[in-house]
Amino acid sequence: MEHVYPLIQELTLILITAGVVTLIFKWLKQPIVLAYVVAGIILSFFITEDNPEYKNIETLAEIGIIFLLFGLGLEFSFKKLMKVGATAVIATSFIVICMIGVGYFLGLCFGWSHMASLFLGAMISISSTMIIIKVFEDLHYTKKNFAGIVLGVLIMEDLFAVLLMVLLSTIAVSNKFEGMEMLYSLFKLATFLLFWFFLGMYLIPIFLRKAKRFLDDETIMILSLALCLGMVFLATQAGFSSALGAFIMGSILAETMESERIEKLVLPIKNLFGAIFFVSVGLMVKISSLGEFVVPILIITVVVIFGRMIISTGGVLLAGQNLKTSVSAGFSLAQIGEFSYIIAALGVGFGVIEDSLYQIIVSVSVLTIFLTPYVVQLAEPANGFLEKHLPQKWQDFLNKKVSGVHPVNQNNLWKKLLTEIGTIILIYYFISIVIINSSLAYAVPFVQEWFPGLKGNLLVATVTLLIIAPFLRAVIIKKNRSFEYKTLWNESMANRGPLISTIIFRVIICAGLVMYLLFKLFHASLIINFALATVILLLITFSQRTKTRSRAMETRFRENLNEKEKYKESKAPLTKGFVNHVLERDLHLSEFAIAPYFSIVGKTLKELNFRQIFGVSIVTIVRGSLRINIPNGNERIYPNDHVVVLGTDKQTELFQVRLEEKRKKYEKLENNPTPEVKMRQFLINPESRLIGETIRTSGIQEIYDCLVIGIERNETSIQDPDLDLVLEEGDIVWVIGEYENILKICEL
């Protein structure tokens, strides 16, 4: 047990310091991530790299990265990625590429190496999801139109950050910028992601459904952590980082019906190890040496704030949003955060960046995070300034781009057909490649031990072809009888050649894959391989059993992927179709959950008169399983209702303020113990202001929330007195209420 004591001492020191600093930062209303970093900086005066305890903290920090990325994956999900739309994809691609370029150029200007400059570019290219969400909540911006765009960009940036980690690891190991090696790494990454995502989505939801009655909280937490660490092992075995494996498993579990439950159960573990990671970030900062880096810290801080403001605004504009929305989104993304630390730690771990750059980037992150709330609030004055000084011609040009947000050509059958065929090839072909390579790498050596020579290879080839047959059939056959294909075929003779070419192309690439497998196993000549591949593909294409298996697998996968979404849609206040009918750019739909203490509870819509006061319209009220669309004026608002309103950013903001009028009072009551109700008596003395007042007009009930239950007068008792009874000198009044309020009545 003695070897455990140093670790316990370190954890005690870390957690006590982090806890105290967190309390201070909570009081200062600052982000908790900063509290952990500052706690680490404080501990750096006591724990240095020379201490043996430092290695233990590094190990715990690496575990922290795993659970941070696992938690991020649980919040992320690939379905969210598909929903963020063209705006987020275009804007994020522009922002990340430009910021990497800016950082790389800036690093070269400082005289840093190419590798250090590249890492600097990566560090300043990703905003902080945690910080932005907190700032939006504090400023009540979550319901604003631009907030949805910002969150979409953050989702995309998280994915870019994971990709950057993989690519930077590859570059750091080889210490080269070779194009072919980069392409191979991207191909390998895409293959790994797709294969495990599709395999996981096919198997894990089925398993969770089958085992549901055995899955109590403890079991599902252990199971989800086991899946996370299992994928971490597979990722490291494949040559990727442990963080990537954790992220992939989190994103797979995010699509299951148990995702919210898992997220809630894993949160304490993620918070604990995440705190240790951020403390370790602060530990690496040497305050004594920061003085010599003041100039680069200040320059990079200015570049990050103004560079991200301008580039992010440009990216959102490029994606087709109007000027006001773009500026608001751009100003919100002017900081760097948690991923900068992870990328910096990666660079230090590979020995490709100096400790000084690590300390600089942490300092820049702290400064930009502190300034984030103020920069976000500058968006409105900046919009006003641009509207006042920007030539009207320019404003019209920038705002006209809104019409380009929703791509036209929705009815372009060629575009739709080719996109769907491309997606099918990407998914099923990649899966087939992974299965074939896995068979050659692992199955062949294993089978050869039991069935050496041709017999073993024949067995591997047969089993592998049976496994990939449904995927190859889907690549060749799917979409050949679709509405788009038939319409284009019948529309023009000129379309028939290109349509047939799409089938021929798919047959050729599938034949190539089969030939590759046969050549590796049997080393036959090209002609024999081609003939065998042709026969095999014909059998696969026309096999009824393969067709049934292919359809069953696809149906099961779609059901698993859409199960959670369908359930949420059935409970959601609005259907997708309804949302799509809101076409005005300045108007958007916002959902509000009505807490019991909201000031509007119990009132009718006619009494509240929201349209005249705020300009918003109540579109839907959801009450349990009941959905009231376009409610009339006599409909009341009840606690726990969900109301959906239509309005502009300004209107919904005013509406939210009105809703939450009593929030502060409620939070104060919630943080204090509920006062106990007591029964007491008091005497009405000659100086009392209550003499001559009725119980109704005295304010005992209305003002002091006390109930008069009896009065003793002239040796008689009046029980349940009438509210119009006049109080007299010498009355002994019995009341029920909070003790403090009773004392106030006695002083009247």
> What DSSP assignment string belongs to 490-510?
HH-GGGHHHHHHHHHHHHHHH
Q: Which residue has the higher pLDDT, 2 or 404?
A: 2
Give the pLDDT score at 543: 85
User: For residue 518, how far is the Cα from the chain centroid?
Assistant: 44
Q: Is the dihedral of CA 415, 421, 424, 430 positive or negative?
A: negative
Is residue 434 domain-shared with residue 295, that is, in the same domain? Answer: no
Residue 18 resides in a domain: no
Is residue 659 domain-shared with residue 713, that is, in the same domain? Answer: no
Q: 290 - beta bridge partners?
A: none
Residues of the chain above pLDDT 70, percent: 86
Give the pLDDT score at 409: 41
Distance CA 685, CA 732 (A): 9
Residue 31 resides in a domain: no
Distance CA 748, CA 745 (A): 5
Give the pLDDT score at 6: 72
Q: 681 - beta bridge partners?
A: 734
Where in the sequence is the domain holding 244, given as residue range(s)?
62-387
Distance CA 17, CA 342 (A): 22
Last residue of a domain, one of 370, 387, 404: 387
Q: What is the average per-residue pLDDT within 66-90? A: 73
Residue 29 resides in a domain: no
Is residue 185 domain-shared with residue 330, that is, in the same domain? Answer: yes
Is residue 381 domain-shared with residue 492, that is, in the same domain? Answer: no
Q: 622 - beta bridge partners?
A: 627, 642
Distance CA 711, CA 734 (A): 6
Query: Which residues does 230 contact at the CB level (< 8 Å), separation at least 6?
Result: 249
Q: What is the mean pLDDT of the chain?
A: 80
Please state whether beta strands 732-738 and 677-683 pair in parallel, antiparallel, or not at all (unpaired). Answer: antiparallel
pLDDT band at 299 (very low <50, low <70, confident <90, very high): very high
Give the pLDDT score at 698: 84
Is residue 612 domain-shared with residue 700, that is, in the same domain? Answer: no
Is residue 134 domain-shared with residue 92, that is, in the same domain? Answer: yes
Asked if residue 7 has pLDDT above 80, the reply is no
Residue 713 resides in a domain: yes
CA distances from 110 to 31, 104, 107, 296 (A): 31, 10, 5, 8
Q: What is the average per-residue pLDDT within 689-699? A: 84
Distance CA 600, CA 703 (A): 21
Give the pLDDT score at 81: 60
Q: What are phi and psi of 453, to 5 degrees?
A: 80, -150
Give the pLDDT score at 667: 53
Residue 51 resides in a domain: no
Q: Are 340 and 361 in contact (CB under 8 A)?
A: yes
Is residue 684 domain-shared with residue 657, that is, in the same domain? Answer: no
Last residue of a domain, one of 615, 645, 670: 670
Which strands make up the sheet holding 642-647, listed edge to edge?
Answer: 588-593, 642-647, 617-623, 626-629
Give the pLDDT score at 303: 92
Is residue 682 domain-shared with residue 661, that is, in the same domain? Answer: no
How many Cβ atoms sit within 10 Å of the Cβ of residue 692? Answer: 12
Asked if residue 584 has pLDDT above 60, the reply is no
Exposed e or buried b for every residue in 419-456, given b needs 16+ CB within 10 A? eebeebbebbbbbbbbbbeebbeebbeebeeeeeeeeb
Residue 403 resides in a domain: no
Give the pLDDT score at 403: 41
Number of domains the chain is built from: 4
Asked if residue 590 has pLDDT above 50, the reply is yes
Give the pLDDT score at 429: 85
Long-range contacts formed by 348-353: CB under 8 A, 24+ apart: 348/284, 350/169, 350/172, 350/173, 352/115, 352/116, 352/119, 352/172, 352/175, 353/115, 353/116, 353/119
- List the helix and strand counts (H, then E) for the chain: 32, 8
Asked if residue 579 has pLDDT above 50, the reply is no
107-159 pLDDT tens trace: 999 888 888 888 899 999 988 777 787 777 667 776 677 777 887 888 788 77
485-539 pLDDT tens trace: 888 888 878 788 888 888 888 999 999 989 988 888 888 788 888 888 889 988 8
Query: What's the alpha-carbon Rg for the chain, to the nearest Å?
Result: 33
CATH number for the domain harbouring residue 734: 3.30.70.1450
DSSP structural state of residue 322: -
Distance CA 587, CA 710 (A): 57
Query: Which residues does 629 contact at the CB level (< 8 Å), separation at least 6?
Result: 619, 620
3-state helix, strand, coil in the chain (%, to 5): 70, 5, 25
Q: Which tokens in the block code for residue 297? A: 């810290």
CA distances from 293 to 54, 289, 362, 589, 675 (A): 24, 8, 12, 48, 55
Residue 697 resides in a domain: yes
Distance CA 417, CA 501 (A): 13
How many Cβ atoms sit within 10 Å of the Cβ of residue 5? Answer: 9
Is residue 640 domain-shared with residue 707, that is, in the same domain? Answer: no
Give the pLDDT score at 20: 92
Last residue of a domain, one of 525, 540, 565: 565
Is residue 141 domain-shared with residue 205, that is, in the same domain? Answer: yes
pLDDT band at 580 (very low <50, low <70, confident <90, very high): very low
pLDDT band at 181 (very low <50, low <70, confident <90, very high): low
Pick the closest to residue 39 from 53, 51, 24, 50 (CA basis).
24
Q: Are 679 and 725 in contact (CB under 8 A)?
A: no
**Mean pLDDT: which of 188-202, 256-270, 616-630, 657-671 is highest?**
256-270
| 636-637-641 Cα angle (round to 5) | 135
What type of residue is 561? L
DSSP structural state of residue 404: G
With H, G, I as helix, E, B as strand and everything else as coil, classify residue 625. Answer: coil
Is residue 85 domain-shared with residue 222, that is, in the same domain? Answer: yes
Asked if residue 49 has pLDDT above 70, the reply is no
Q: Which of 239-243, 287-291, 422-426, 428-432 has the weakest average pLDDT? A: 287-291
Is residue 592 domain-shared with residue 463, that is, in the same domain? Answer: no
Give the pLDDT score at 105: 92
**Predicted TM-score (pTM) above 0.85:** no
Using H for helix, E for strand and C for coil, what is the string for 37-63?
HHHHHHHCCCCCCCCCHHHHHHHHHHH
